[in-house]
Chain A
Amino acid sequence: MYICTMNLSHVWAIIKKDVDIELRQKYAIGGTFLFAITSAYIIYKSFGELKAMEWNILVWIIVLYAGLNAIVKSFIQESKETYLYYYTLFGPLEVIVAKLIYNYLFTLFLSLVVVGVFSVLLGNPIEDVSLFMKALLLGTLGISSVFTFVSSVSGSTSSSATMMSILSLPLVLPSVLIMERTTAVAMRLINDSERYEDLVILAGIDLLLIGMIVLIFPGLWKE
């Protein structure tokens, strides 16, 4: 097996580099948020008034697609030579952990922005804010991990954007469905006495996915 060491300062350096690149190439991050806000605005203008369940579903669909668009380039934004250079500098574990953390924070921020825009335009139906936040924290972790892994797989295929969506959408489905149900409970749309069980399952799925990624990625990175 691969023996991996992890140096936290290396992880931090990769995250910092990603943030720097993101801020330098403003089109990417700007495009993602513009996509999210435009979709929210289209929904606002076409629906006018939105029921809580639809609010819930549309928020997650927008987060899903905006996140997909943003994370797809996670492993292809830099040239092959740059990756060869990273390969000499960092271990695979450091790279994947850094990417996971960065993409998680990005998706989290993105979903908060979408929720914020929806709340301003269409009102805020959330009743149990703490439950909603817990579901959001755990659900976006699962979504962003799957997207990160799939972007590392689909990055080297000929049509990475298409591959990304057909590979990752079925994979994120369990996380999205459970998160959607828990947030619906947070809006008092459905009664569920087992809401904390749902959160535990969400966390369990996250752990399973991240564990698999950490196990598999070192083999992929060797290319």
Chain B
Amino acid sequence: MRQNWWKFLGIALLIYTVVIGMSTPLKPGVLRIDPLSIGQNGNDSLRITHGETHKFRVKGYNTNFTDNDNTAWLKLDSIGAVMANKVNIVNDTEIDLTFDIPNHFPSRDTFESLTLVLYNKEDGTAILPDAIFVKSDLTRGDNIAEWEVNPIANLTDKPGMQFPYRSVLHETIRNTFFHIPLWFSMFILLVVSLVYSVKYLRSGNLQHDIYASALVNVAVLFGILGIITGSLWAKYTWGTFWTTDVKLNMSTVAMLIYVASLILRSSINDIDRRAKLSASYNIFAFAALIPLVFIIPRLTDSLHPGNGGNPALGGEDMENTLRMVFYPAIIGFTLLGLWMSSALIRYEVLKDKWMSRG
């Protein structure tokens, strides 16, 4: 039992991932803002001219407007903000705000985009970037005092752990703990498999060949699960299960390369030759995988994060609350994969023994 600690660790980490990853609430956010004074046009943003008074209905997500003292601002970047002069609570997730749009704007840009900032004590701060576009072509910014009457102040965060609210992702942000760790652990399994293939070619020990092929089997399974979770994610964020995006298609080709290696194995009967050929092909396949997954998608435009200049996991692209589940999930999936391949290895070794006995 003692040498099995890593299997229990893997399962514990996966249980942690599912429980914490699924039960932690999202931060309060703003779903949409609709104009009540103009007539609804169904868009998230609308055009408004300077110097007018407008009433908006704001739909919140995970918010508690009732029984709270709500404040709201429309913020013009780096200049200041105007505070809502009337706040009407409809229910917990709906609120009506009335703003006096100032007469003066600091620049002569045709449009200014304003960010909506909502605050109450219980929910902390909720933000909708580019909530409203205001037409500001006539006035010149010599008088920006209106922007500085009620500055944004005294904001606090909601206490406790929440995942960030992102406008397109919404609740699907939890897929971060499944889709990405599945690909990561697939890659780790392939690297381990590569090591065993090299070991086999150097030693000729058939055990190493069985290790390498079992790891490839599990890695292909993880890759297919990675494609399925990614496809579901794409359905809810990009609106389609599959696009012509490079990253998606290159990953599929990578899967084809490894599925082909499994077919190659099954097409050879001689054990030693099978081991030698599949080890050679495995090494070669890994070399071909690098341009497919890491070079080509970075060269072309892509919707997928981490390619074509899109943000992904680095620095400020991911919040620490996500990382608290994301990294354990990677380790958990990798350990699960190793466990699955060790079961496969035992099966193959037993089968070989049985066969050789006749």
Contacts and interface: CB of A to CB of B under 8 A. Distances in A.
B283 A216 contact: yes
Interface in A97-141: none
29 contacts: A146-B288, A153-B280, A156-B268, A156-B273, A156-B277, A159-B267, A163-B263, A163-B264, A171-B257, A171-B285, A171-B288, A174-B295, A174-B296, A178-B296, A194-B299, A201-B291, A208-B287, A208-B291, A209-B288, A212-B283, A215-B283, A216-B283, A217-B280, A219-B276, A219-B279, A220-B276, A220-B277, A223-B273, A223-B276
A137 B199 CA distance: 35
B292 interface: yes
Nearest to A220: B280
B258 to A, nearest CB: 9
What DSSP secondary structure best describes chain B's contact surface? helix
B290 A208 contact: yes
B163 interface: no
Given A157-B267, A208-B291, A213 B299 contact: no
Interface in B292-326: 292, 295-296, 299
A101 to B, nearest CB: 19
A149 B284 contact: yes
A170 interface: yes
Contact of A171 (B279, B284, B299): B284
B298 to A, nearest CB: 10
A158 interface: yes
A198 B290 CA distance: 16
Interface of B: 201-202, 250, 253-254, 256-257, 260-261, 263-264, 267-269, 273, 276-277, 279-281, 283-285, 287-288, 290-292, 295-296, 299
Nearest to A178: B296
Nearest to A162: B267
What DSSP secondary structure best describes chain A's contact surface? helix
B263 A166 contact: yes
A170 B260 contact: yes
A201 B263 contact: no
A173 B260 CA distance: 14
Contact of B288 (A157, A174, A217): A174
A205 interface: yes
B257 to A, nearest CB: 4
A220 B275 CA distance: 11
Nearest to B292: A174
B282 to A, nearest CB: 10
A57 interface: no
